[in-house]
Structure 1
């Protein structure tokens, strides 16, 4: 039971540490440690930074805090952006139903102030302090901290001056270039560094999505469409103009068709007006494309074909396409970039240990040279001579790799997902795509279609998995600012954090439950993690030597089926948790499942036995898009080839080898993660994409 301490009129300023025990704001109960705001039976979970803004306002109740001060308190390591503060204030007003802005008042050109009745929960009365004493203490602490920091910085600079000299670049002035409900993504500067070109998705009256190329100047005075396409545009890049008499600039564009990629160029005038469109070539059989680059006559691109990312060279004059590099078990590229060396291409990919590596490929000899081994994260990469090296991002932070292969972090911390950073030719500005994702997990009864919302977050909850007895839900969430693993008790509607991910690895795979509901297994950046839930506190065990993703618990809770992405075939292992030994079962791109002494294989058209004999075959106009293994059999999700709206669920029984249809469902807006006991588990998904810019300066 809560005990409370009211704040009297003479005690409006409190220490943030006092608030951490919880407090009451008017009729709302606030729990900073869990991020929860409670009113009667309604509980809303705030994002960590939104809660921090609330704490800052509450700690100085009725005092006006400037936008700059709020940002420095909540985002101390980031570059000032008033947008972050305004967004947090809007979120708080929405949660507290503060439509008249009486709870959080706006003071034009001055800041914000909180006006509410505040009661501290579980507080010691002796902790109570007056406004003046608390304020003086806060000022003194800030002054002493500043002095201490200055002394420390002086000492560090004296002893580590050589290291400090390596920090050549710093960022400032974060500004949104776009802020619309439409999806803006992938941006590059114009050759004169004055404007940014980016992609925008637009929907027509029939709901068909078209792609547009937009140009916006850095001073925001110019904002217009460059080009419209009825087909999706993946990426684009500037290439040198062969004939300067007919055009000033040339933009090479890649458009994704049904089963191919088409390359064409736009000839532009000196004020970036499209003069002509030239078709170059089309490559069939490609499923996806990565950012590419080119010169006057050639384009180098990485495309996924036959489940492999292969590097190609295309001739812009003749249309001839040549294969330059195929992935191997030792190295599989996922990004490319130019290089400082002539006739060389920078490859960024995973090695056999799933570590990101940077290599150089000679286009004349085919020789591969190692440059730098990074870590288990994946990265975006671009090369620019103005930066004297590479600009990289792991989706959260920005890094610089100079020509001496010194890897340094730039002073930028992002609380959304950072896509495709790119530097202006004059090295004065940087642009990137910021993606904010959100969604919750829902359960739908396959018979009655009754819908239940299982999670409620202002961030992104996804990759849910039912326990074998259907009593618990394990899922991944970034509600605390980075990916973490949670377990929800469905009956009591209580959850607990079971994996904090203190290293803040970006990629946590979907959790897999053991048959006795006591353990979870998942991959952290393709490295195995298990959690024993039997005791009071979760017992986490990392198996970094095991590369791949767990797909099944075998023998109740003794061993796991692991899939490891490899070339040319995925390798499947059985790993013993007790002995930490693994043995390869097979190498196949068909999905493997084990049940007792039997092995099953699944592709898009069939369920097969271990020898490849068909046990179930879908209708010719359908394909198997997902499957979910259970103790008695396999749930199959079937989708028609020509529709993404309707689907069917079938169940393959291990014992009888018979497959029967369970239900017909609508697939629209559903990211399905599990099917169990006639319940469909899925998460909603929304993403906001906008283009942002930063100023870049040299120390």
Structure 2
């Protein structure tokens, strides 16, 4: 069959994986072009998902998300926004069709490569893009052929020498699943000798985890910890004999924080034979610690936070003392990694100029380099960069989900192509650099709407109250004021998008780019549009899909409240690397810091009063001079829970999963019922029902990427 054809005004060249319009080629993934080609063969006909999956991925089991991503790539290449659907049309519950005219080229009409002598690059240059007749095709004569060969030779030689200076990007030859259980695995690393992998296995029921090891030769798994608990990331001693990690627990007598942190160690060889007790190296009751790395000098590096700022410290177990290695004045440290091979730190931070920086330091804290990070458009959508050392000299690697990027010490970010169909965390490399571990998988959360009168029934039969069921992660679900719609954020199409559910049909409203992250959304008071915090921005969505971006002074972490009439948005923002509670005037772009306290949640009452919870889960009500604590709600805050204010009443849950209400006018506190065991958080509420997010299942596993 021909490898070149026209779709409307777009020239498709399968031999080069390109779609060209007006001599501007775009490289498109081969599978996406295979989907387009099959639709072109069936031009005007509706082709089901099942048929497309069987034709494009024969004898291969893939999820419908792979097809949906191909459709999204094609629509982007064809300039089709997915709403008007001029080229590729979606037929609900039926499939897809290609609606525009297709012209197949015969062998004599095939368009050759034309050389651009100014740019010294070869590209496809179709002649008359309406008909592409044989007379319009320009063939290379002998002179042009010689010129073409000369250019190719020069390009080859130039590329050869350029490759001596520029690092080669990663190429994955094989993907191996290393764990497969009903639990959820994360925090995977190799042992220093590369013979074992370490990982955490999480219990959904108890929301805690155990530390496990797996022998890569025998495939035998070993549970290392005696008791399930809340353990953080781990690191090996240089000789591989000990393992260090952080345990998080509730403080017995909270003073400045609810959680206390212990730096623990255990003997690895003994733990392989039987679960071992742990040694407490360090305990923090008034500061937070995370991300331990055992250094070559036998000290342990940690990130420590007092109040809001993180600093990199070095702790000596032998001397039981610590010192600061690095901090950022008027900024904050986001992440760091340590290379035992080079005895080197790489620190990601945000400075006073609000820019991200990559800094390298010796283990003693000597600053070797400090450069602003130059993001690609795809990588810029994400606030925090969690980059790890890679086998490429002077380069780290990080992930934003299904997209991977290299980050050089000079701040340059480059895209890396990795064949992953599900989101994955940043790789952790084998000591010899030949392979890497990633955590890959999905969550399944659903939105449930439960009438207050049936809370006791829903405790045992939650499935009866699920709305807009999917097998992916359905997140926020909010009720339309004065209407019948439910707006929800979900990645059911492969990307996090806003959807509208009318009680029967779910329709995609937004068309955000790949690896988008929706943190929250709010309806306007009249129910005519939505404000969404997505990719660090505030986007206003109308019900016809039209969108408007509101520019703010800082990257937005989460939208908390929206007053459309007053042009006011309350949000958590990233201010020089620190989460701050800010109020934005969307008309003037003015910003106001509302409190210096660490805040977990905030909203406004009907009278415009600010209510928030602090890092101790205490409730506060703003006043004329200072905030007043709502002492009646002491003990009613819950870890990482959101609360809702409706008609001057706060609704929330406590750690017993009890739903409660508190009237801000008369101070009445009521227990309304108990929520199901797989309840995750409250989404919305009205006079008749509560909308919650329910945890159905989670599949996270350790996967090994073998490099070519």
TM-score, normalised with respect to structure 2: 0.70
Matches within 5 A, 1:485-496: 485-490=498-503, 493-496=504-507
Q: What's the counterpart of residue 314 of structure 1?
A: 315
Residues 648 and 323 (structure 1), Cα distance of their counterparts in 2 relative to 1, 3 Å cut: farther
Q: What's the counterpart of residue 424 of structure 2?
A: 418
Matches within 5 A, 1:552-631: 552-554=561-563, 556=565, 558-566=567-575, 571-590=580-599, 591-595=601-605, 598-603=608-613, 604-610=617-623, 611-612=625-626, 614=628, 616-618=630-632, 620-623=634-637, 625-630=641-646
Q: Is the 8 A contact 1:528 1:547 kept in 2?
A: no
Matches within 5 A, 1:215-254: 215-217=214-216, 220-225=217-222, 227-230=224-227, 231-241=229-239, 249-254=241-246
Residues 207 and 256 (structure 1), Cα distance of their counterparts in 2 relative to 1, 3 Å cut: closer
Note the C-alpha offset of 1:614.
3.7
Q: Is the 8 A contact 1:337 1:383 kept in 2?
A: yes
Q: Is the 8 A contact 2:360 2:370 kept in 1?
A: yes
Note the C-alpha offset of 1:483.
1.2
Q: What's the counterpart of residue 25 of structure 2?
A: none
Q: What's the counterpart of residue 472 of structure 2?
A: 459
Q: 2-side partners of 1:296 and 1:275: how far apart?
A: 28
- For the pair 1:331 / 2:331, whether they are aligned, the reply is yes
Which deviates more from structure 2 when the two are superposed, residues 474-483 or residues 382-391? 382-391
* Match 1:16 to one of 34, 39, 42: 39
TM-score, normalised with respect to structure 1: 0.70
- For the pair 1:687 / 2:679, whether they are aligned, the reply is no
Q: What's the counterpart of residue 34 of structure 1?
A: none
Secondary structure of residue in 2 paired with 1:673: strand
Matches within 5 A, 1:392-407: 392-402=398-408, 405-407=411-413
Q: Is the 8 A contact 1:266 1:275 kept in 2?
A: no
Note the C-alpha offset of 1:292.
3.3
Residues 367 and 593 (structure 1), Cα distance of their counterparts in 2 relative to 1, 3 Å cut: same
Matches within 5 A, 1:367-378: 369-373=369-373, 374=375, 375-377=380-382, 378=384
Q: Is the 8 A contact 2:479 2:487 kept in 1?
A: yes
Matches within 5 A, 1:41-120: 51=49, 54-57=51-54, 59=55, 65-67=58-60
User: After superposition, what is the alpha-carbon deviation per residue over 1:38-96, rounded to whole angstroms, capped at 9, x for unaligned?
Assistant: xxxxxxxxxxxxx4x64132x58xxx93439999x96999xxxxxxxxxxxxxxxxxxx
Secondary structure of residue in 1 paired with 2:52: helix
Q: 2-side partners of 1:362 and 1:122: how far apart?
A: 58
Q: What's the counterpart of residue 284 of structure 2?
A: 283
Q: 1-side partners of 2:597 and 2:360: how far apart?
A: 30
- Structure 1, gaps ≥5 residues long: 1-13, 25-29, 31-50, 78-117, 128-133, 242-247
Q: 1-side partners of 2:439 and 2:105: how far apart?
A: 38
Secondary structure of residue in 1 paired with 2:468: coil
Q: 2-side partners of 1:481 and 1:170: how far apart?
A: 24
Q: What's the counterpart of residue 37 of structure 1?
A: none
Q: Is the 8 A contact 2:468 2:506 kept in 1?
A: no
Residues 195 and 629 (structure 1), Cα distance of their counterparts in 2 relative to 1, 3 Å cut: same
Q: Which has the higher strand share?
A: 1
Note the C-alpha offset of 1:443.
0.7
CA RMSD of aligned residues (A): 4.6
* Match 1:501 to one of 503, 507, 512: 512
Q: 2-side partners of 1:308 and 1:222: how far apart?
A: 42
Q: Is the 8 A contact 2:539 2:547 kept in 1?
A: no
* Match 1:669 to one of 664, 675, 678: 678
User: After superposition, what is the alpha-carbon deviation per residue over 1:316-360, rounded to whole angstroms, capped at 9, x for unaligned?
Assistant: 2122244555566x5322321126998863222345687643223
* Match 1:524 to one of 525, 534, 545: 534
Which deviates more from structure 2 when the two are superposed, residues 470-479 or residues 684-693? 470-479
Q: 1-side partners of 2:260 and 2:644: how far apart?
A: 31
Q: Is the 8 A contact 1:261 1:283 kept in 2?
A: yes
Note the C-alpha offset of 1:683.
1.8
Q: Is the 8 A contact 1:470 1:676 kept in 2?
A: no
Q: Is the 8 A contact 1:511 1:520 kept in 2?
A: yes
Residues 270 and 440 (structure 1), Cα distance of their counterparts in 2 relative to 1, 3 Å cut: closer
What is the aligned residue count? 582
User: After superposition, what is the alpha-carbon deviation per residue over 1:589-647, rounded to whole angstroms, capped at 9, x for unaligned?
Assistant: 355544576433322333423244547433554336432133x22423141xxxx3431
Q: What's the counterpart of residue 83 of structure 1?
A: none
User: After superposition, what is the alpha-carbon deviation per residue over 1:469-516, rounded to whole angstroms, capped at 9, x for unaligned?
Assistant: 2522222111121211122234xx3333222112x2432121011111
Q: 1-side partners of 2:577 and 2:406: how far apart?
A: 33
Q: Is the 8 A contact 1:476 1:484 kept in 2?
A: yes
User: After superposition, what is the alpha-carbon deviation per residue over 1:383-409, rounded to whole angstroms, capped at 9, x for unaligned?
Assistant: 256654322222322333345654333
Secondary structure of residue in 1 paired with 2:699: strand
Q: 2-side partners of 1:267 and 1:545: how far apart?
A: 49
Secondary structure of residue in 1 paired with 2:387: strand
Q: 2-side partners of 1:376 and 1:473: how far apart?
A: 27
Note the C-alpha offset of 1:650.
0.7
Q: 1-side partners of 2:371 and 2:261: how far apart?
A: 30
Note the C-alpha offset of 1:577.
3.3
Note the C-alpha offset of 1:676.
2.6
Residues 342 and 460 (structure 1), Cα distance of their counterparts in 2 relative to 1, 3 Å cut: closer
Note the C-alpha offset of 1:578.
3.7
